[in-house]
Structures are given as structure tokens and as C-alpha cells.
């Protein structure tokens, strides 16, 4: 009897351990441990409604100007929902949308306010229904997806005007300026080129203000890039872009011109640590160490 009881207890413990390990395998991974975008495994990206050329270039660590050139896209970099963008910058492919296409135009000055969790697939094909002129998209998802259907989504009206006027804004930016810290606090994690998210973390405080590190134009404001949460990307010049991620609240819109030190967001959206800000600077599309450009604390 004792032998049978011991075997039953042993079997119960083994079953419990197997069940626990199964649950552990399905636990969601924290944001910071997510893998890098599979840019070396795919050759193209299918545009989702609400994405901008800047956000797509940021996702794959590409220079937005080279990405535009490789796909025959001229300023102000209008792209279309369902459009297939070539990611191999050594190949030049003209992906301009035909005039009779029904795909939605996704202009770089329109803010996305929704989020999608889907990813691009090699079988994705652009949708084409009734022949009509493309209509500007004013919102949507900002993550890559093979689903090319268009949706009408409530939007936030951008502060700026047309894409053409934004080109003038970039041209009017000061030619000489100095970088400044985007938030007050200590650097809790330094730049690491081996990480997926290569920038720095600044421990500040939930609700603390996030400031533009330099004058520029907001080229992305939304939550569509996986792992970045509520993200703001500022274009300072044709060479430099800066990003402010995992914010609690975004206070600017795409197309808006900002000054150095202007409050653009609030700290508090990081699920792992609500008191820190993720900050990144890119030069010609590639991440660099922000501390080398920022003033000594």
C-alpha cells in the first residue's frame, strides 16, 4: 500500500513539473528580449496603412534616403498601403503606384494611432479592387504585415500642413546647434551594438518630461514599431534622426516642427521599468552611441 502511495505521489510531482514547464515556455517575452527584425531573411516589406518611409527604414536599420532611392520614391516620400518595398538597397526597383490603383496613400506626415501585431510574409500581395485614384491615409497600423486591406480608422489631425510644407521646415532648420539630453537622470544602460535595441536607457521618473534632443521635424509618432511602445522619431537633418521610445504619452504629431528642449512626451510607458526612457540616435540610418554627442553630465 505504501509502495502504491509513493508511486502515486511520484507520478503527481512529475506531472506537476511537466505542466509548469509547459506554462513557462508560453510566457510572453519581455520587450527588451524580442529578436531583431529579420532583415537578412526577407527581401521586401509590405506597407501597412499608417506606416511611413521613416518608420520602415528605422525598423530595418536602413537609411531612409537610400531606401527611397532603391524603390524610386521621391520626396515627400509618399507610400501606399499594400505597396511592396525592396529592402535590398543594391537593387533599384520602381514601386510607384499606378494611377488606377485603389491602394491608400500613406504620407510621412500622417500619425498612426492603432497597432497591429502581424508580420510580413513572402506570400503577401497588394490588394486592388475598384479602379480609382489613391486616397491619403490618415491613420492605421505601423507594424509590418502581409494583410493589404484598407481600413478606416479614427485619426488625430497632425499639427503640420502638407508634406510639401514639411520639406520647407527641414530646410529651415538651424544649420548649427548642439545636442542636449532628452531627459534628466542617470544612464542605466549604455549603448551596446550587440543588442537589438542599441541605444541608451535613462532612469528618470514616471511622468517626467521627454525633450527633443535638438531642433527638427517629427517624422513618426505612434506605437506601430514592435518593442518601442509609444515612439517619437525626430529628423534633425538628412543625416541625423533621434528616437524617444516607450513613452507614457506623446505630445507631438507627425509633421510638427520642434525646438531643442521642447517637451514632446512623458516617461512611463516601459512595461519593465516605467521610470526610464529609451533614447537612440542614428546617423545615415545606423545606430551610434548617443553619449558621444551629448554634453557631459
For 2-30, write each residue's pLDDT tens digit: 554 555 555 555 555 544 444 444 433 44
pLDDT of residue 144: 40
> What b/e readout covers 217-231, taking b as 16+ CB neighbours within 10 angstroms?
bbbbbbbbbbbbbbb
For the chain, percent of residues with pLDDT exceeding 90: 46
Please state, in angstroms and rounded to a whole number, the distance separating the CA atoms of residues 151 and 140.
7
pLDDT at 264 over 80: yes
* Averaged pLDDT, 184-196: 94
Look up residue 160 and give its three cell numbers. Answer: 503640420
Look up residue 238 and give its three cell numbers. Answer: 538628412
**Strand 209-211 versus strand 240-250 pairing type:** unpaired
Q: Where does the pLDDT of residue 193 fall: very low under 50, low under 70, confident under 90, or very high at 90 and above?
A: very high
pLDDT at 231 over 80: yes
Could you report the per-residue pLDDT of 79-136, keeping only the tens digit for each?
999 999 999 888 766 544 444 443 444 444 333 333 333 333 333 343 334 434 444 4
Contact assessment for residue 86 and residue 72, using Cβ atoms and an 8 Å cutoff: no
Please state, in angstroms and rounded to a whole number, the distance separating the CA atoms of residues 164 and 167.
5
Better pLDDT: 98 or 245 = 245
Of residues 106, 16, 55, the one with CA closest to residue 234: 55
- HSE-CB for 250 with a 13 A CA cutoff: 25
pLDDT of residue 49: 80
Better pLDDT: 50 or 273 = 273
Domains of the chain: 36-149 (no CATH), 186-292 (2.70.70.10)
Rg of the chain taking only CA atoms, in angstroms: 22
* Averaged pLDDT, 156-178: 63
Amino acid at each position: 500500500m505504501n509502495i502504491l502511495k509513493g508511486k502515486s505521489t511520484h507520478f503527481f510531482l512529475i506531472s506537476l513539473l511537466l505542466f509548469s514547464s509547459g506554462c513557462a515556455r508560453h510566457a510572453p517575452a519581455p520587450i527588451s528580449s524580442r529578436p531583431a527584425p529579420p532583415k537578412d531573411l526577407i527581401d521586401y516589406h509590405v506597407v501597412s496603412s499608417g506606416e511611413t518611409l521613416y518608420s520602415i527604414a528605422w525598423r530595418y536599420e536602413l537609411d531612409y534616403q537610400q531606401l527611397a532611392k532603391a524603390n524610386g520614391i521621391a520626396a515627400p516620400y509618399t507610400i501606399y498601403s499594400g505597396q511592396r518595398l525592396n529592402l535590398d538597397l543594391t537593387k533599384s526597383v520602381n514601386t510607384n503606384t499606378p494611377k488606377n490603383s485603389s491602394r491608400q496613400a500613406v504620407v510621412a506626415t500622417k500619425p498612426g494611432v492603432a497597432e497591429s501585431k502581424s508580420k510580413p510574409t513572402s506570400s503577401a500581395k497588394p490588394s486592388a479592387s475598384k479602379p480609382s485614384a489613391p486616397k491619403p491615409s490618415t491613420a492605421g497600423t505601423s507594424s509590418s504585415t502581409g494583410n493589404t486591406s484598407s481600413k478606416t480608422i479614427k485619426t488625430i489631425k497632425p499639427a503640420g500642413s502638407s508634406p510639401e510644407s514639411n520639406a520647407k521646415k527641414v530646410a529651415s532648420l538651424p544649420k548649427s546647434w548642439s545636442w542636449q539630453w532628452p531627459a534628466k537622470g542617470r544612464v542605466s544602460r549604455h549603448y551596446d551594438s550587440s543588442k537589438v535595441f542599441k541605444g541608451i536607457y535613462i532612469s528618470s521618473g514616471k511622468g517626467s518630461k521627454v525633450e527633443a534632443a535638438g531642433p527638427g521635424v517629427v517624422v513618426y509618432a505612434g506605437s506601430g514599431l514592435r518593442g518601442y511602445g509609444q515612439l517619437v522619431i525626430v529628423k534633425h537633418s538628412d543625416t541625423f534622426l533621434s528616437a524617444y521610445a516607450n513613452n507614457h504619452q506623446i505630445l507631438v504629431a507627425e509633421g510638427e516642427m520642434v525646438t531643442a528642449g521642447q517637451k514632446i512626451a512623458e516617461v512611463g510607458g516601459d512595461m519593465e521599468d516605467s521610470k526610464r526612457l529609451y533614447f537612440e540616435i542614428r546617423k545615415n540610418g545606423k545606430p551610434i552611441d548617443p553619449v558621444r554627442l551629448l554634453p557631459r553630465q
